[in-house]
Amino acid sequence: LHSHLFRSAVPSTSTQQQVPIQLPKLRSSSLQEHFRIVADELTQEYKSYLNLAASFPISFPKPSQWKCVTGWTRYDHGGVVEQVEYPLEDVFFFDVETCVQEGQLPTLAVALSEKAWYCWCSERLVHLTPVPSLARLENLIPVGGTEKPRVVIGHNVGYDRARTREPYKENKSAVRFMDTMSMAIPMFGMADHQVVTYETDDSDFNLREKRYERWRDTWDDRVCRNSLLAVHQHLYRDENKMTKESKKFQEFFVKEDMNLIRQNFQVLVNYCADDNIACCQIFTKLWPEFQKRFPHPATLYGMLNMGNAYLPINENWELFYKNNEKICDETKEAGVKALISAAKQVLEELRHRNGDGAVVDAWLFDVDWSFKADHKCPEWYFKLFSKRGSAYLDVESLTSEDVIMKSAFVPLIFGNFHDICVSQLSTVPALDMSAMQFSFIKAFKEKH
């Protein structure tokens, strides 16, 4: 194994002892076929639910009036309204909204299945109860499926999943979350550097890059951003099923408080429901293409399980968080003191220098060595502090609030030789910097 991986002889420190490994029995004579058989068995039931979701009608009549009651309310497409513990169907589309001003706990959610609409409301939304100081399972959304397999579909569904109960329970859940954004990215997504090109104005682009005119339009038609709106517009270009106007309510949950959300409850739930319809429409077109491009069942298995990590959060999380915050603050304070101590050491060394031309740290040649008024320290030293008066404080009395923990200094030698690799700097002739540093030292001593 070592020879195969590293193309070298086995080191003398290696042991020749055989380590027993329990390998599963192959399901076929071919290893590739073995993985296909196993993955197909593990995804068969989930795939049947996804096939069912892809056959949903892409237009559902919404309830004329949504009830603002705690928990899940089911609105049968036939008109029956009832309270339920969680959505009854085994596959449904799901979208969660959060009052960002109050934290990350869910405020309301809407689900859409083949047979019914569902709306979930938090206790705080309905009764304006106090904001929980510590999140508990009862503050999260139940989606069922602890033992029985079921599929929840959403766009960037990891955000919604984090606000459901099942991923936090100790017992392993059989519910899986299918993300339409993750489905779209390998088909229509872009790398970060491509987004810049995509957002460049066509006229400016053609003026600067004439030779790319022929492929630009074709490429623009094949890619899109990752948002629900962008993917929907990419798939339904001529049908205008979703407009930017419908997304203005997204900012409502970011900027407004719970009172305004309650006052606009009907409008906001309808917005959330529209997102479910849009996600359903996206999935209807994505699913056949996804199976065509990625037919191996192991791909689907990976999609379902990469988004199914256990979220081990309980009442110990707050203690864990505070301990880490304490360690982080202590480390930051120590870093501040070390930084200022090093800066003071540089100034102290200059006070005892005789101007003999000894080489000064290259990082200090490109900083501001000017002295203002009656200050005894150069400007670069004052710029280390958030307030100039803090520069005269003792090191031990300084805090992270007093010091700007951000460096904009660039070593002059790297600025002059920007295009030369670091490994090649040894071949660059030595610089005669004695005249430069002498002027710095002279200016410094004139102040002392």
Residues labelled as active-site residues: 95
C-alpha distance from residue 103 to each of 98, 107, 161, 265 (Å)? 8, 10, 16, 19
- Residue located via tokens 């906001």: 268
HSE-CB at 394 with a 13 A cutoff on CA atoms is 2
Q: Is 82 helix (H, G, I), strand (E, B) or coil?
A: strand
Q: SS3 letters for 3-62?
A: HHHHCCCCCCCCCCCCCCCCCCCCCCCCHHHHHHHHHHHHHHHHHHHHHHHHCCCCCCCC
Q: Give 222's contacts (C-beta < 8 A, 6+ positions apart).
A: 188
Q: How far apart are CA 330 and CA 7, in angstroms?
A: 46
339-342: list long-range contacts, CB under 8 Å, 24+ apart.
339/384, 339/403, 339/405, 340/384, 340/395, 340/398, 340/403, 341/395
- The residue among 84, 109, 440, 423 whose CA lies nearest residue 268 is 109
d(CA 59, CA 229): 17
Amino acid at 258: M
| Residue in 385, 379, 386 with CA at minimum distance from that of residue 364 | 379
Q: How far apart are CA 39 and CA 41, in angstroms?
A: 5
- Per DSSP, which regions of 70-174 are E strands? 71-76, 81-84, 91-97, 108-112, 116-121, 150-154
